[in-house]
Amino acid sequence: MRRVGPPSEFQRLTVPVVQLLDAAWQRMHWWIGAMAVLYALSGITMIRADEVAIVLRWGRLVGATPALQEHGPGLLFAFPRPIDQVIRVQVKRIRETSIASLTFTTMAPGFSNEEGNEPDEEPIAVSDSYTLNPLLEGYALTGDNNIVQVEMIAHYRVRGAAEWALYGPNSDDILRTEVTGAMVRSLGEMAIDSVLSDGRKSLIAVATERAQAGLDAARSGLELTSLELTRLSPARGLVPEFDAVQSAYIDAETRKKEALAFVAAAIPGAKTAVDASLQAARGAAAADLALARGEAAAFVALAREYHANPTVVRERLYREAVERATVNAGSIQWVPPPTGPRYTGFRITINPVASGGGGDDRREP
């Protein structure tokens, strides 16, 4: 049997400390459990309706395809940090940025440059001797070697959350770079007259397509939804001429629309008048044809009757002719025609009355 000696000085000093730690553990062990539970639940993330989320596990993206990498709205269960890191990205929000790298940065008093600061130098006065300074003014060349200056507003959204969060550079910087390059190239393929008149839609469409291709190649994760030209003009010294061209173009478009409106209103009226004239002509032709056919049929019937009874028909025709001639006479006295070979060629001549008196009737053999 081993004999236990008296406690050493070290044991006498450590015993109170051990007792104190044991008492603390008896009173506070449930705090440690609660903290462990809270730590485990910290990996639960709420994804809003306009967001998607990606998960980084030990710094690496989770998921082999974009469909597995992006998590939609709802609760996302992940490991707590530092194991997993959840990055939420707003993919339905339309953002916009102003692009003024192709215009002048030294502006008139009261205006600011692209960075929002007042220019350090005095504004350049536009005069007949004005010369563009490429150190102070951005510009682009058209296909026929004319200078134009452009201000734009790019509307975009995040299309690829993983690329935008991990691989793409600063969204505003890459967007300005790609849109500016695409606009310079597109302007270099068009003539100044087309750019300043009816070629804007084509210019915007081509520049947007090229800018999107550049954004995809840079793995920016951005989608350019629209590109708006807020200013498109030649150098400041040529602004009056540009305004004149624009006014002429607007006036031509206005007159064209007025002419089209007049044509649209006049053609239906003309078609209606033509249809009415055709209907009237067809009705008159049908009436005349019916009348002619009726008269022809009556004449044919009269001819048949004359061949059958010439004397009766001749007498009837004579009486009808006399009735038509005397229908408007006030007083009628019937004088039958004489008969016999002696009166062949007999006629009655009535002399007109020269003045209010009566006439002179003569019978001539």
Query: Could you give the C-alpha distances from 33 to 38, 77, 111, in angstroms and in order?
Result: 9, 20, 61
More confident of the two residues 25 and 357? 25
Q: Are 83 and 102 found together in one domain? A: no
Q: Are 148 and 223 found together in one domain? A: yes
- pLDDT band at residue 360, thresholds of 50, 70 and 90? very low
Dihedral angle sign, alpha carbons of residues 237, 240, 241, 245: positive
- Give the mean model confidence (pLDDT) for residues 35-48: 78
- Look at residue 246 in the predicted model and tell me its pLDDT: 74
140 in a structural domain: yes
Amino acid identity at 265: A
pLDDT-wise least confident of 131-140, 333-342, 346-355:
346-355
pLDDT digits (tens, 9 = 90+) for 222-252: 999 999 999 888 877 777 777 787 788 789 9
Q: Are 54 and 172 found together in one domain? A: no
Q: Are 14 and 70 found together in one domain? A: yes
Whether the predicted pLDDT of 4 surpasses 80: no
Q: Are 84 and 196 found together in one domain? A: no
- Total of domains in the chain: 2
Q: Are 143 and 225 found together in one domain? A: yes
Q: Are 179 and 229 found together in one domain? A: yes
Q: Are 217 and 150 found together in one domain? A: yes
- Give the mean model confidence (pLDDT) for residues 274-286: 92
| Location of structure tokens 């397509």 | 209
Domain span at residue 210 reads: 95-109+133-234
Report the C-alpha gap between 200 and 252 in whole angstroms.
17
Q: Are 160 and 174 found together in one domain? A: yes
Q: Are 67 and 178 found together in one domain? A: no
19 in a structural domain: yes
What CATH number is attached to the domain comprising 187?
3.30.479.30
Q: Are 137 and 216 found together in one domain? A: yes
Contacts of 41 (CB under 8 A, 6+ apart): 80
pLDDT digits (tens, 9 = 90+) for 101-145: 898 764 433 334 444 444 444 444 444 556 777 777 888 999 888
- Look at residue 344 in the predicted model and tell me its pLDDT: 65
Q: Are 102 and 198 found together in one domain? A: yes
Whether the predicted pLDDT of 96 surpasses 60: yes
